[in-house]
Structure 1
Amino acid sequence: MDEVCGDWGSKLVALGTDGASVMTGAKNGVVSKLKGDRSYIIGIHCMAHRLELSFSDAMRSNIMFQRVELLLGGLYTFYHTSPLNRANLMNSFQALGHMRLVPTRIGGTRWVGHLLRALDHFLRGYQGLVLHLEQIQSSDAQNVRGVQQAKARKFYSTVKEAAIVRFCGFLHDTLTHLSNLSTCLQKSVITIADAHSALCSTQAVLEKYKTRQGPMMKVTTADSYEGISLTRIGDNKALINSQREVIDRLVESMTHRFQDASVGILQATKLVSFTNWPEPGDEVADFGETELETLVEHFKPILDSSGIHSESIPDQWTALKTLMYQDPNSQLKMSWMSVNRRYQHSFPDLLALFDLVMSLPPSTAECERGFNTMKQVKTDWRSNLNSDTLSDLLMVQLCSPEISKFDPTKAVTLWHNDCIRSRRPDFMDCEKAPRVEHEESD
């Protein structure tokens, strides 16, 4: 860090961590060590991690979820460890003319994402899966051991249960929204305020699932699914109660895990999200006064040490609001980048505070991407890369724009001009001189 920025310690305002005690410990945690006597430094538990933990808490004691988890895990092992079973399953999909969707692992680095993919493969590949399990357990199946047939019979009876299929449909709908929220929380440009808004909207959708069915749940409520008759249809009261229990516990767990985002300094960061700004009216005059006071009071030491006049920020906030609300559509058209370009010289102290607030990290996804990219760059064949080269390669991988948006003109010009020896980019395009053959003289 000292090589990148010598005075990084004096500029530190927040850091994102996972929930490990070595990071968040009150006495000897990394956050406490870095904070020292600087009380304004904020330690933020990664919101993407918290979402995964919320889902784990909600499903911990649910019997139906345990059955589904056991089924999906068993199917993955059944096909992953047997090339013959896997090949025969592929043949079943091919015979039906369906996409080959092999059961996938339910665990991994992203519990929500991996489980959603496993459920998606199970529900979309249901016909091919049932067809293969039906074939493998038959008495005339060839090259199949008795143990494999016994497992197939167990899986076959389980996957045809109406309660299992319907609960899988319910989980698919629920996890779709949780996965979208997780993806949103992992964006590099998201702010704390935007993350909290996305969290609240997801909770509202999940609450509705207690009284209405989601898209996949509607498909799985019939007596048959994908043309296959289900067994043990019975009464749905137990299933409905289980679903409501899941929703209640999930919303409660999310509220508990993210409670710090709705109070105190993190709640005050909603000022930087235009979606939280009120419509033009009487509320505009007092909007944000309390939150701004909280932010200024919390970050006053570092603002003063950076030469920012914190006492001028409230007046600049009032003036900026007035200018922003003169055009009713300005909030929809503007971003903070355009606001900075337009009003940087008029409200420098206020915009400096907002820049600080928008730098607060809601998740540690960027760090995870950095480690993942480093594994791809520094392989066994390139293990001797020095620090500067590795840093440059990681910078290119992590901070460069997408290929579709990248303009290579500057890079090509730099490559062509900044060199010791002259470049010859048109070398291969040059016409070769005609070859003259001389006759040997006698």
Structure 2
Amino acid sequence: MALPCGVRVSTTKKWTDELDPEGEWLEVVKNPFNQDYAESVFCRLCRKWAEKIQTMRNYNEAFVKGTRGLSVKKDNVRKHKKSEMHTQAYNLEKKLVTKDQIDKSLLAWDFLNSGMQEKNRIRKLLQISYTMAKMEMAFSLFPSIAEIERRDGVDLGETYMNINGCKEFTVCIGETLEWELGEILSTAEFFSILIDGVTDVHAAEKQLIYILTVTESGQTKTSLLRLTDVENSSAENLKQTITKALENLGVTDMKHKLIGLLADGSSVSMEHGKGLAAILCSETPWLVSVHCISHQLELSMKDALERTYFDEFIRILSLIQGLYKKSPKRLRQLQALAMVLEEDMVKCDDHASGFRWLAHKQRAVEALYTLYPAIIDHLQSIVEDAGIKSSEKAMIKEAAQMMSSFSFVIHLLHFRYLLKCLASLSWTLQSERTDVIAVLTSLQDLEADLNHFLENPTPESAQLLELAEKYVALPATENARQVKEEVVYKSISLRHVSERAITTFKDTQKQTVEAVRGCIMERLGDLKTISTLNVCDLLDTQKWPEDREALMTFGNMTLKAFVEQFQQPLQFIGVQMEDILSEWTKLKLFWNTNLPQLANNELGKEIIASSNKYPNLIHVVKIMMCLPTSTSSLEPFFAAMQRVKSDWRNRLGSRVLEHLLRIKFEGPDVEYFDPEEALSRFFSKPRRPSVVPFGPQENPRKRKIHVSELEDQPSLQLEESKGNIVKWSIC
């Protein structure tokens, strides 16, 4: 080990004999590796009275926290002894400034009490700024809101009453919340990284980077780490951004804590051999990298339903959406017609077109199913209106005829049930509390539903098919006489009922379901074969055998393979690897005897709560719970970013925008916001001395007051007078 360089303790003793002969304030901390050298020097008095003196204009925290390295000089110690902050701390310690002496001098009174007044003023401004950030209000409204408060008698002073002041307060609050994230990460044993791309109002790409951790109560928590620009982005740059952000929060052992990476499938994140996942896996071989399951579900649906009858559905839904969205009058007419027909009015989703979220498709199809007769009647009435354009009339007429056909209705019933099954999985993936167990269970349920649907169509579809087959089986003469009276659905006579239409639907029905099942299993089926994710099924108590002998050996081999994969990070935190299987057996026996009715999503929490019983197994469970599955829970952040950085606030920088999003989603409610941490951070930052609303003073050490303030103040001595303004100093 290299010898420490610096000042010897014997040298600092000479400084103490000269500058602090009574040993009242100068403290020397010895180097733990070599007691002959000084590691740091600090002032005991300034540290003791830091809260009282930190609002002073020339406050410097060097001798409060301790000056180190090359800053340990006799000249710096001498300057500190002569500084205003040290003098004030000394006076507070010796109680030289009494109430009687303060009353004799206006300046001394202000000098002692201005700190508390300034703190109260900044505290109020911080609360206003936090409320504005929480409510997504622009910085430009801050002066007006502050002025309203001031008119109501709230003392807000004169400084920081502008846009820049509000921005500074917001950054302070955001940094405080960011510091709290650092505290969480410093105590967290493991975490995963979630990355997703987003486009702001300038069409500039950005990367949202999140951290997934497990709290002490056993809950998973997603926190914003960094919002970074994608300009000239590469996998290496993205890795450096993540590493630097974690180091700024005090996390220097990312290699031993990182266990999972979830990304949106972009080349920067997931490219084979070159992406971020490949770089991190080369450093942490145990890393589990997952392409967002929600994105894979959307892509699989797009592949499965492409060039099918569903394309016609999307076209009709988009036409109906545009027809009623652009005309409030037509929407009111449809609502009135729905009331007459006793149908519930359901809003047609704005995301009916495109493949963003399956839940939007399901809601759009559900709205069409519910309002089917009302929409048909209203489209026909629009066609009869002589006031619309001929091109629009032809398009609406074509849509009405298509919607009244047998093929459209039977496919509507078919896709309604199919999308309902798929939307259930989509909603599960979008839940903030979704874990690997929920995803694997939902995939198994979806597979079972699709297999059942393949063999057994819905009762409504079967009934309509039966009516159509009876209609087609009628003799031609009778068929001709009873046209438009045989096959009726929701009071609408269906057109083009033919044997060909029935046969085509039966063939395409099976093909569609098989295509959907095949595409989903192709993209998501491997999740059930990945041992790292499949091991999380061990926490699903519904799959545990009831037989005691079978329970004793259940999951042993799977758990052993999982522990071997994460052996290095587990050993880094001191886990006794040989005791994990014995604790696993103890847990199964305890569950079989005492907790047979425990829900599968509660088992992990129960293990974490019983850390004394399972001191080694608890760390394995935390890894299981920390494995990422979907970035769908980040969608609210994207929507909020579009609202916050709007066309009217397009100059917001990435860092300020990041703090605004952090306050919006991770800060407490306005009524529970405590500004004390942000207040301390604000006063710990270096600020310009003598900042007043009208610019710097001519002499920062002397204050300007009005002549009327000098009455009955014998301790003030007049130095210079110009008009009604004078300069004065203490006698």
TM-score if structure 2 supplies the norm length?
Answer: 0.51
1:123 matched to which residue of 2? 369
1:395 matched to which residue of 2? 666
Alignment pair present for 1:52 and 2:304: no
1:19 matched to which residue of 2? 265
Alignment pair present for 1:341 and 2:609: yes
Alignment pair present for 1:148 and 2:392: yes
Equivalences, count = 405
**1:352-394: CA deviation from partner (whole Å, max 9, x where unpaired):** 1111111101101233333333444566469585755652333
**1:257-279: CA deviation from partner (whole Å, max 9, x where unpaired):** 11321122221221122233222
Distance 1:340 1:245, change over 3 A: same
Contact 1:108 1:114 in 2 (8 A): no
Unmatched 5+ stretches in structure 1:
421-442
Alignment pair present for 1:277 and 2:544: yes
Contact 1:378 1:390 in 2 (8 A): no
* 1:208-223 alignment runs, 5 A limit: 208-214=452-458, 217=461, 221=465, 222=467, 223=487
Distance 1:5 1:142, change over 3 A: farther
- Report the 3-state secondary structure (helix = DSSP H, G, I; strand = E; otherwise coil) of the residue aligned with 2:290: strand
Q: Which amino acid aligns with 2:546?
A: E
Q: CA deviation at 1:285?
A: 1.5
Contact 1:374 1:394 in 2 (8 A): no
- The counterpart of 2:282, out of the listed 10, 31, 36, is 36
Contact 2:359 2:427 in 1 (8 A): no
Hey, what's the Cα distance between the residues in 1 that align with 2:464 and 2:494?
10
Distance 1:72 1:109, change over 3 A: closer
Q: Percent of pairs identical after alignment?
A: 21
- The counterpart of 2:557, out of the listed 274, 290, 300, is 290
Distance 1:103 1:415, change over 3 A: closer
* 1:125-204 alignment runs, 5 A limit: 125-138=371-384, 141-204=385-448
Deviates more, 1:1-10 or 1:204-213: 1-10
Contact 2:261 2:289 in 1 (8 A): yes
2:522 matched to which residue of 1? 256
- Report the 3-state secondary structure (helix = DSSP H, G, I; strand = E; otherwise coil) of the residue aligned with 2:261: strand
Contact 2:428 2:439 in 1 (8 A): yes
- The counterpart of 1:6, out of the listed 232, 242, 251, is 251
Distance 1:386 1:107, change over 3 A: closer
- Report the 3-state secondary structure (helix = DSSP H, G, I; strand = E; otherwise coil) of the residue aligned with 1:210: helix
**1:112-151: CA deviation from partner (whole Å, max 9, x where unpaired):** 122212211211111121112212223xx23122212211
- Report the 3-state secondary structure (helix = DSSP H, G, I; strand = E; otherwise coil) of the residue aligned with 1:258: helix
Hey, what's the Cα distance between the residues in 2 that align with 1:128 and 1:320?
59
Q: CA deviation at 1:66?
A: 2.5
TM-score if structure 1 supplies the norm length?
Answer: 0.82
Contact 2:604 2:625 in 1 (8 A): no
Hey, what's the Cα distance between the residues in 2 that align with 1:390 and 1:268?
35
- Report the 3-state secondary structure (helix = DSSP H, G, I; strand = E; otherwise coil) of the residue aligned with 1:233: coil
**1:13-39: CA deviation from partner (whole Å, max 9, x where unpaired):** 101111222221112212112222311
Hey, what's the Cα distance between the residues in 2 that align with 1:386 and 1:51?
30
Hey, what's the Cα distance between the residues in 1 that align with 2:264 and 2:507?
34
- The counterpart of 1:233, out of the listed 472, 497, 500, is 497
Hey, what's the Cα distance between the residues in 2 that align with 1:67 and 1:419?
59
**Bigger fraction of residues in helix:** 1
Hey, what's the Cα distance between the residues in 2 that align with 1:394 and 1:5?
22
**Bigger fraction of residues in strand:** 2
Deviates more, 1:177-186 or 1:366-375: 366-375
Distance 1:253 1:189, change over 3 A: same
Distance 1:101 1:389, change over 3 A: closer
Q: Which amino acid aligns with 1:56?
A: K
Q: Which amino acid aligns with 1:326?
A: T
Unmatched 5+ stretches in structure 2:
1-244, 468-486, 681-731
Deviates more, 1:19-28 or 1:295-304: 19-28
For the pair shown, the structure with the greater C-alpha radius of gyration is 2
Contact 2:637 2:661 in 1 (8 A): no
**1:73-102: CA deviation from partner (whole Å, max 9, x where unpaired):** 333334445566555544543554544446
2:627 matched to which residue of 1? 360
- Report the 3-state secondary structure (helix = DSSP H, G, I; strand = E; otherwise coil) of the residue aligned with 1:15: strand
Distance 1:186 1:276, change over 3 A: farther
Contact 2:338 2:344 in 1 (8 A): yes
2:359 matched to which residue of 1? 113
- Report the 3-state secondary structure (helix = DSSP H, G, I; strand = E; otherwise coil) of the residue aligned with 2:612: coil
Hey, what's the Cα distance between the residues in 1 that align with 2:274 and 2:302?
27
Contact 2:272 2:278 in 1 (8 A): yes
Q: CA deviation at 1:107?
A: 2.4
CA RMSD, Structure 1 to Structure 2 (Å): 3.0
Distance 1:327 1:81, change over 3 A: same
